[in-house]
Amino acid sequence: HSHTVKNMACSNIRYGEGVTKELSMDLQNMGARNVCLMTDKNLVKLPPVKAVLNSFSKHNINFKLYNKVRVEPTDASFKEAIDFAKKGDFDAYVAVGGGSVIDTCKAANLYSSNPEADFLDFVNAPIGKGKPVTTALKPLIAVPTTSGTGSETTGVAVFDFEHLKAKTGIASRALRPTLGMVDPLHTLHLPQRVAANSGFDVLCHALESYTALPYNMRSPCPTNPINRPAYQGSNPISDVWSKHALHILAKYLKRAVKDPGDLEARSSMHLASVFAGIGFGNAGVHLCHGMSYPIAGLVKTYHAKDYVVDHPLVPHGLSVVLTSPAVFTFTGPMCPERHLEAAAILGANIRNRKREDAGLILADTLRKFLFELDVDDGLGAVGYTKDDIPALVKGTIPQERVTKLAPRPHTEEDLTNLFEASMKIY
Amino acid sequence: HSHTVKNMACSNIRYGEGVTKELSMDLQNMGARNVCLMTDKNLVKLPPVKAVLNSFSKHNINFKLYNKVRVEPTDASFKEAIDFAKKGDFDAYVAVGGGSVIDTCKAANLYSSNPEADFLDFVNAPIGKGKPVTTALKPLIAVPTTSGTGSETTGVAVFDFEHLKAKTGIASRALRPTLGMVDPLHTLHLPQRVAANSGFDVLCHALESYTALPYNMRSPCPTNPINRPAYQGSNPISDVWSKHALHILAKYLKRAVKDPGDLEARSSMHLASVFAGIGFGNAGVHLCHGMSYPIAGLVKTYHAKDYVVDHPLVPHGLSVVLTSPAVFTFTGPMCPERHLEAAAILGANIRNRKREDAGLILADTLRKFLFELDVDDGLGAVGYTKDDIPALVKGTIPQERVTKLAPRPHTEEDLTNLFEASMKIY
């Protein structure tokens, strides 16, 4: 059977300053009469949600507000939102927030459209049953307020499965938002560390999808195109997005973090998040993301700066980027040209550098990049010790859907070494 | 009202060697029981159609074959295909060919799904009524066999309106194929001039969409997002595709033309055609395309080499590229950076060159590029004289839907000068 790739990069993205104002007209064009607006209790006071509420009142949109989304959602917080959605019997959804809000809204839309389904039915195997979604969902308009997850472009919803202390999720094209409203003005309110950590998520989306196992080396080939996974491996279409996002990151991430008022930089990072999302939503991510789930899930007492939450938290972007130097040192030998190319885009001088050193060169480039952006010095700095490594490895195993896209095969021992090498990064 | 852009680049593209084999399974997954296969009488003997027929018989797909598509279709040839489609009462369409075949199939699908409609109802104003398409069309799978039109990614179908001797078309998102099957092996059969002319179409799609009026300078802004045109002006999303296509053209077009067996080059050009299609299908094209329609429509006796047709023909790609040096000299002053950037991608050394010369620099770069690809020396070489210019200008006026996206406003006198300057290009 032939190796082929299908471009899943089909999100509708609306971009522009003040674009959120149009959202009520889109809802009316969709015939929506009973809208669910989802956000979290901090955002509800901020300009992005205010813009939506103003648009709703101006166009007399009938809606109910759900502002109890949990930052880094759990199965429990998903279920609470799902119950709200089931009771509300909504005909359209609007999610205003970061990945936590958009992912929670995707789950609420999915399960309220499948009221008979058990929660585990659609959750990724092996934790859940990974059943395909066959019912049509309600329209969902996603308004991202962080520049990180790219959730407005993907069919993925991630959450902490509490009793396993592991992140897992739901992955289906059916979950992809109908429309993403990307308003550069929405990121001006982002606190410094939130802007930084969101940017690290974009960085890893771009680097992991660009270095992911190529689509034509994935095996087995699906015998029927309907069985092709959403994460297909790197391909000529995702490569365009991943590389373009890297160029924007190299030029604008530091500016966007250091100066919240730098509209050009924050606006560019907002688009980079969308572009990287289209790339990885098509190609997939691998080890940094697979290993990040236990790093976030097993958090002890670490409280991230600039996050207004009442629980310990290793923000997703931080949990992803802390292992990146170790991961790309490990994957370098499998596609050295791509590692060198990425390093060059991020500012490294690769002239006369050896292919054998590609992984190390990208890793050193990342260390410099992260140090300049005040990233904590490894897993140790967010509260982990060597004694936690077995649990971190154990929490990575269920992420095979993601980690199998790594360009280099790996054993539990390899994962142990990668966590060990990430305890300290500078 | 705010200036925003919506990404219409939503085609599903399947890419890979031998991907056409999967097509029958897609039709089965769509529940198709009665398929219309459209192609032309030359292609019907060639490998791309053979691959589809083999797949059909292997999976027992019930289909009817229509092989009377006209190269550079007319209202008459569209109507003949529409009648076939209406009689056949098909539940899915497969178009195997270049833009002529895919565009004809789009029209057949549109009018057989709207049997009561008059032919002019959906044709672009001012020639037609430009009515919006409100009915759902049948699934259409497009299998491009040339690397030019990008028709598999767009909602546009172009034809010669014979009694006006002008090209016009139908433009609606509803026409966009459900799935594009991009098989690099399908372009190996392309004769040299067909590969060249198709490449020139890609070249102009990329250059025109990259230099098109920016989305936030288009006016008036639609008061409702539903009224936003398919051609929205250059924007941060189309720019990615247009520039990427230019890079591929610069690297591979000459190789793809000179050596039909160069799989890497022909495969890359096949993707460049898709990428440029996503770009211009979103941003639009302008003067080269607007002026090309009368150049093709008013053809007298010119017979293009390597085209097996029984009528005089200036191939679309040739009719588009012949005016490009004059057009980009004219538009240069409006966005000099983009003209310089395009020239640099196509191989010009722009160090220490003046912004004021941007248009001339791109024009000279194009002249060199076209000369090396044995392009006829201007409109004179395809049979036109100065006396034809008034008719060429008159034929360009109805193309305002396209030409209004030019970055520089223009009068009939400007158009006259552009045609005059294109009589001879070297």
Residue A108 CA: distances (Å) to CA of A119, A177, A335, B132: 11, 12, 40, 34
Tell me the two tokens of residue A262.
Answer: 């730098």
Which of A2, A3, A22 minimises the CB distance to B4?
A22
- Residue B74 DSSP symbol: B
pLDDT tens digits for B203-254? 999 999 999 999 888 877 777 777 777 788 999 889 999 999 999 999 999 9
User: Using one digit for the tens of pLDDT, what is the confidence trace for B368-384?
Assistant: 999 999 999 999 999 99
Does residue B46 sit in helix, strand or coil? coil
- B114/A398: higher pLDDT: B114
H helix count then E strand count, chain A = 15, 9
The average confidence (pLDDT) of chain B is: 92
Q: What's the pLDDT at B1?
A: 46
Contact indicator for B94, B143 with CB cutoff of 8 Å: yes
The predicted-structure confidence for A238-278, as pLDDT tens digits, reads as follows 899 999 999 999 999 999 999 989 999 999 999 999 999 98
CA distance A229 to chain B (A): 13
Question: Distance of CA A243 to CAs A149, A272, A329, A338, Å?
Answer: 17, 10, 19, 10
> How confident is the model over B20-64, as pLDDT tens digits?
888 999 999 889 999 999 999 999 999 999 999 999 999 999 999
Q: What would the pLDDT profile of B156-176 be if each residue is shown by its tens digit?
A: 999 989 888 777 899 888 898
A383 sits in the region (left: phi over 0; alpha: psi -120 to 50; else beta) called left
Q: Which of B1, B3, B12, B13 to mutate to test the interface with A (most CBs of A within 10 A)?
A: B13
List residues of chain A with CB under 8 Å from any CB of chain B: 2-19, 21-22, 25-26, 29, 215-216, 224-226, 235-237, 240-241, 244, 271, 275
Burial string for B360-384 (b: 16+ CB within 10 Å, else e) reads bbbbbbbeebbeebebbebbebbbb
Residue A34, pLDDT above cutoff 60: yes
Partners of residue A143 on adjacent β-strands: A96
Pick B5's closest partner by Cβ from A15, A26, A241: A15
Q: What is the pLDDT of residue A6?
A: 55
Across the interface, whether the CB atoms of B26 and A225 are under 8 A apart is answered: yes
| pLDDT for residue A8 is more than 80 | no
Q: Is the predicted pLDDT of residue A355 greater than 90, yes or no?
A: yes
pLDDT score of B8 more than 50 = no
The mean pLDDT value for A225-248 works out to 88
Interchain CB contacts (distance < 8 Å): A and B? 99
Min distance A69 CA to chain B CA atoms (Å): 28
Whether residue B400 is predicted with pLDDT greater than 90 in this model: the reply is no
d(CA B338, CA A247): 18
Q: Give the model's pLDDT for residue A1.
A: 46
Please give the ipTM for the structure prediction. Answer: 0.86
pLDDT for the residue numbered B2:
52
What single-letter DSSP state applies at residue B184?
Answer: G
DSSP symbols for B371-411: HHTT--SSGGGGT--GGGHHHHHHHHGGGHHHHTTSSS---
DSSP notation for A219-261: SSPPSSGGG--S---B-HHHHHHHHHHHHHHHHHHHHHHH-TT
In A, which residues are within 8 Å of B224 by CB distance?
Answer: 25, 29
User: Cβ separation of A29 and B225 shorter than 8 Å?
Assistant: yes
pLDDT higher than 70, residue A231: yes
Q: What is the distance in angstroms between the CA of the first residue and the CA of the last residue of chain B?
A: 46
* Interchain pair B17, A2: CB under 8 A: yes
